[in-house]
A = this chain, B = another copy of it.
Amino acid sequence: MADTTKKTLIVFSGELDKVLAAFVIANGAAAMGDDVNMFFTFWGLNALRRPENVRTSGKSSLQGMFAFMMPRGPGKLTLSHMNFAGAGPRLMKRVMRQQHVSSVEDLMATAREQGVKMIACTMSMDVMGLKREELVDGLEFAGVATYLGEADEANVNLFI
């Protein structure tokens, strides 16, 4: 057994179900006293977007187009299966409420309270055309070297 219980999660997928799984694992680990680092890359960054349109400067038109077409925040994420043009996520959220399973928004708030570190990948932000002001507060910004440094100190590293 390793002598550390740090965890790192790369949140690559921006689908509601995978983001949900990531936060359930992150919060579970944090509740057990573990250091948890979540690295949001590519589509995963969409889970960190503010729901409102944010005016930005310095984007190329291509970057603007990408950003325009991607979902803004957990309320807009799709499912990896059975999405049905948005009906799937609505149904899943309703079942989650029925079953008293926390929403992604609630899980994210709990993660913050528990000190889970959320890091946005700067290289992906450039590729996806996302600026810091479009993302929620309380994030750190870093690249792959930071990820690898944390992963070297962790005993569980997942790519989600």
In the complex the two chains form, is A152's CB within 8 Å of B1's CB? yes
Binding site for B on A (CB under 8 A): 1-5, 10, 12-14, 17-18, 21, 24-25, 28-29, 32, 34, 41-43, 60, 62-63, 65-66, 69-70, 80-82, 91-92, 94-96, 98-99, 101, 123, 126-127, 129, 143-145, 147-148, 151-160
| Cβ–Cβ < 8 Å partners of A32 in chain B | 145, 148
In the complex the two chains form, is A42's CB within 8 Å of B21's CB? yes
| Cβ–Cβ < 8 Å partners of A34 in chain B | 148
In the complex the two chains form, is A17's CB within 8 Å of B5's CB? no
| Cβ–Cβ < 8 Å partners of A10 in chain B | 21, 158
With known contacts A81-B43, A82-B69, A60–B98 Cβ distance under 8 A: yes
| Cβ–Cβ < 8 Å partners of A157 in chain B | 156-158
CA A91 to CA B127, docked complex, whole Å: 10
Of the residues B21, B28, B95, B148, contact of A12 by C-beta under 8 Å: B21
In the complex the two chains form, is B152's CB within 8 Å of A155's CB? yes
Query: What 8 A-B pairs have minimum CB-CB distances, sorted nearest first?
Result: A28-B144, A99-B126, A158-B159, A151-B156, A156-B157, A62-B95, A159-B160, A1-B153
